[in-house]
Amino acid sequence: MIEIQKMTGTKEENYALALKQVQAMIAGEPNLIANLSNVSSILNQALSDINWVGFYLLEKETNQLVLGPFQGLPACIRIPLGKGVCGSAASDQKTYIVENVHDFPGHIACDAASNSEIVLPIVKNNQLFGVLDIDSPLFNRFDEVDQLWLEKIRDAITQEIN
């Protein structure tokens, strides 16, 4: 059993510890839902000033992102590809950092308290699996440091996808 508490180091220290915890937790575990559940919990403890962290997974039959494991308030269940920040990051297969979600064309407001967002696509062998989505009540909460470390964590997840 692992005990995870809110981390109190610098941003980089917290991310480095979170990456180690993610790698240790998911190594050799083939169940994607179990892994994503633990990753969302670890990130919820590691990151300050966030109000939602979780995953949307691609449902190929409908070409939509469907809510997966998360930490936070209840969220939108389905997001069409190309819609909102999550759908745009998924269709473009690139990380989106949005300083003010209210200025993002077609933003889907699942939690009215969210003001900024970072979304990272999860892609393996050119196949989209879903996105990692993190929201904050602060404007301009996410930066290149967040992107760098979250991409490392995303890559650790991707390595475990079969």
User: Which CATH fold would you assign to the domain 11-160?
Assistant: Beta-Lactamase (3.30.450)
Matching residue, tokens 């967040």 = 146
User: What per-residue confidence (pLDDT) applies to 109?
Assistant: 77
Q: Which residue matches tokens 């998924």?
A: 90
For 6, 73, 125, the CA distances from 16, given in Å and listed in that order, are 14, 26, 26
In one-letter notation, the amino acid at residue 154 is: R
Q: Where are the beta strands (DSSP E) in the chain?
A: 52-59, 64-72, 78-80, 96-98, 116-124, 127-136
Report whether 39 contacts 53 (CB < 8 A): no
In total, the chain counts a number of residues equal to 162
Which pLDDT score is estimated for 110? 77
Cα-to-chain-centroid distance, residue 120: 6
- Per-residue confidence in pLDDT tens, the chain, 162 aa: 556 566 778 999 999 999 999 999 999 999 999 999 999 999 999 999 999 999 999 999 999 999 999 999 999 999 999 999 999 999 999 999 999 999 998 888 777 889 999 999 999 999 999 999 999 999 999 999 999 999 999 999 999 987
Q: Looking at residue 2, what is its pLDDT?
A: 58
What tokens appear for 158 in the block? 């991707």
Q: SS3 of 9, please? A: coil
The ranges assigned to domains in the chain are 11-160
